[in-house]
Amino acid sequence: MTEVLPADGVFGLSWLLVAVPAISAVVLLVGGRRTDRWGHLLGTAAPAFAFVLGVVLFVALLGRGEQERRVGQQLWTWFEVGGLRADFGLLLDPLSALFVLLITGVGSLIHVYSIGYMAHDARRRRFFGYLNLFIAAMLMLVLADNYLALFLGWEGVGLASYLLIGFWQHKNSAAVAAKKAFVVNRVGDMGMVLAIMLMFATFGSVTFEGVAAGIEDASGATQTALGLLLLLGACGKSAQVPLQSWLLDAMEGPTPVSALIHAATMVTAGVYLVVRSGFVYETTEVASTAVVLVGLVTLVVGAIIGCAKDDIKKVLAGSTMSQIGYMMLAAGLGPAGYAFAIFHLITHGFFKANLFLGAGSVMHSMHDDVDMRVYGGLSRLMPVTFVTFAMGYLAIIGFPGFAGFWSKDKVIEAAFADNIWIGIATILAAGVTAFYMTRLMLMTFLGDKRWKSDVHPHESPATMTIPLVVLAVASVLGGVLILGGWIGHFLEPSVGPEEHHDLPIPVLALTAIVTLTVAVGVFIAWRTYGTKEVPVTAPRGSVLTRAARADLYGDALNEAVLMRPGQWTTRWLVWFDNRGLDGGVNGLAALIGGTSGQVRRAQTGYVRSYALAMLGGALLVVVSLLAVTLA
């Protein structure tokens, strides 16, 4: 990593990237009804401004020498307690610059789309407020120059996702899904919190620079613990196994939210964290292997789940899990994979936003029905949605020339160079991806009409189709970033030089194998869903299908392993508290109360009995005095 230079000139404005969306969110949320009329315009202008500023900063970064591309801006001292000093600082380097462009670019398009998508929602202005909060938090996350400020953005993202997933809070399922996302993320956040504490305890600093400087000399146990804790945090945000369960339920939110969570913000945070903390993972074999394994398991699990779902958004959610798994895997491979992880992340951002917004457009015209079994034959009625969706589809399955082809291929290459079995697993998963995405295409846009009688599909308004077109173009052309190894070279100041690896077989042969596998996946899907009629009610399916429909029993596992024992423990604790602790205290009180109830009977109200008691007492005193004196 190269040295961080102080921010000068236009770089002094980088704080505006975070501030503008944040201020817009505050205006929209505090301003209330008064901002209803123009709220969506302000809400869209804020990320658009951030995008323009991001482009300016990006160009300025490109204009500098390679060794001067890490720019830090210290804003103020956040707090200073004892030996801990946390500066509120921003770091703009190639890695965060790419993220800024992705977040604000795709984010702005999603905002534009939301104007049309949420047009009939009475709470649209609030929706835009939350979206802006989401963007601001995510920008805070990627621009922070230390783990503590990163954590601020990290929590902000969690909060915004909670608010947005549960945006239609009158639906019980949405409220529950929001709560689930929040709770599962909290588990990951614990990892982050512990990691930050460990950093402070070990290095006395929580900045990226400080930790990177000290990590080499730390003990092996500390390095491993740090890596695993950060991985736990990354798993929570990026919906990786074992904290994947919230992502599928998060589909309860409005579709633009799903697009934002899956493409530009939230789930990419985990990958960012792992790549940003590369200096930690390079010192510990155990943790980096764990990252690879987590990515591998998730990419397979996500792909399998995607194959069985009939809910169009859940298929896409499964595919997000799977694609993020690819990125995690690449990030876990170390310097050989960082650039490819980020490359895949960016192209995925393009085509997944495209797919989600396309799915939203379809749902919009189908009365918010998400069941693909009642779709079919939409290609002619929704030509723009169909063509743009097809671009995203070709990109995600890795059709030669499209964005996903370049990025996924690179990840598979890196995996292959590391371990041949991991490589084979990634290739098979690519085939499965092709299968479920083809299935989705065939069930939604082609084949017979299976609509319900009261549905009249129509093309969506321009505010929704224009973002689709832009994203479709990006899905097609996103691969240009890799031309001449540009992205790897550009990211060098942030993540170190790209390691070159030797493949056991020629690159072209590997590409051919991947493409062939994809073709097989497409063919199987076409044989199953393209040539036969799709039944409107789902058939029972094989054991694997039923398992995949139930999210491979992830929820059941969580329930059996965590929730039930947790409930038993709390019940036992409540019982112990009621009977054990309260019982003891209440028993003592009852004993004293009962005794005094008996003793007060002595107070009869008869003066003469008091007199007798006094006399007796006086005699007792006299007798005892005499006894003492005479003894």
Partner 1 sequence: MDATPFLTLSALLFTIGAVGVLVRRNAIVVFMCVELMLNATNLALVTFARVHGQLDGQVAAFFVMVVAAAEVVVGLAIIVSIFRARRSISVDDASLLKY
Residues at the site binding partner 1, with contacts judged by CB under 8 A: 600-601, 603-608, 611-612, 615
Q: How far is the CB of 621 from partner 1 (least distance, A)?
A: 15
* 3-state SS record for 14-39: HHHHHHHHHHHHHHHHHHHHHHCCCH
| Cβ 612 to partner 1 shortest distance, Å | 6
> Between residues 81 and 602, which has the closer beta carbon with respect to partner 1?
602
Residues in the chain: 631
- CB-count burial class (<10 Å; 0-12, 13-18, 19+) for 368: exposed
Q: In whole angstroms, what is the distance from residue 317 CA to residue 453 CA? A: 28
Angle between the N-to-C axes of helices 267-276 and 312-332, in degrees from 0 to 180, rounded to the nearest 10:
0
With respect to partner 1, which residue has the nearer C-beta, 516 or 613? 613
Q: How far apart are CA 271 and CA 167, in angstroms?
A: 26
Cα 168 off chain centre by:
20
Candidates 402, 434, 428; CA nearest to 415 is 428
Q: Tell me the C-alpha to C-alpha distance, in Å, between residue 70 and each of 94, 95, 145, 279.
A: 7, 9, 11, 16
Phi, psi of 79 (to 5 degrees): -160, 160
Residue whose pair of structure tokens reads 């409220």 in the numeric block? 175
Shortest reach from residue 579's CB to partner 1, in Å: 33
Query: Which residues lie below 8 Å from residue 87, measured CB to CB, with a gap of 6+?
Result: 74, 75, 76, 77, 78, 145, 146, 207
Residue 602 Cβ vs partner 1, minimum distance, rounded to whole Å:
8
For partner 1, the closer CB: 573 or 611: 611
Write down the least CB distance from residue 572 to partner 1, Å.
43
Q: By C-beta, is 531 or 596 nearer to partner 1?
A: 596
CB atoms within 10 A of CB 469: 16
Q: Count of CB atoms within 10 A of residue 447's CB?
A: 20
Strands (E), 160-278: none
Return the number of other C-beta atoms located less than 10 Å from residue 326's C-beta.
Answer: 32
Distance CA 403, CA 336 (A): 20
Contact present, 452 and 459 (Cβ < 8 Å) = no
Contact at 8 Å (CB) between 281 and 215?
Answer: no
Give the nearest distance from C-beta 627 to partner 1 in angstroms.
19
H or E segment and range at residue 189: helix 172-203
* CB nearer to partner 1: pick between 37 and 608: 608
Instruction: Please report how close the Cβ of residue 596 comes to partner 1 at its closest, in angstroms.
Output: 10
Residue closer to partner 1 (CB basis): 213 or 626: 626
CB-nearer residue toward partner 1: 544 or 612:
612
Give dist(CA 332, CA 243) in Å, integer: 18
Which residue(s) pair with 372 in the sheet? none
Q: How far is the CB of 597 from partner 1 (least distance, A)?
A: 9
Work out the burial of residue 472: count CB atoms within 10 Å of its CB; fewer than 13 is exposed, 13-18 middle, 19 or more buried.
buried
The interaxial angle of helices 94-117 and 124-143, nearest 10 deg, is 170
Following DSSP, what letter does each residue of 212-225 receive, concatenated?
HHHGGGS-HHHHHH
Nearest-approach distance from CB 631 to partner 1, in angstroms: 23
411 vs 407: CA distance, rounded Å? 6
Q: Kindly report the backbone phi and psi dihedral angles of residue 277, in degrees, each rounded to the nearest multiple of 5, phi listed first.
A: -95, 25
Distances (CA, A) of 275 to 9, 142, 247, 271, 569: 28, 11, 22, 6, 38
Strands (E), 434-517: none
Nearer to partner 1, 219 or 598 (CB): 598
User: Strand, helix or coil at 89?
Assistant: strand
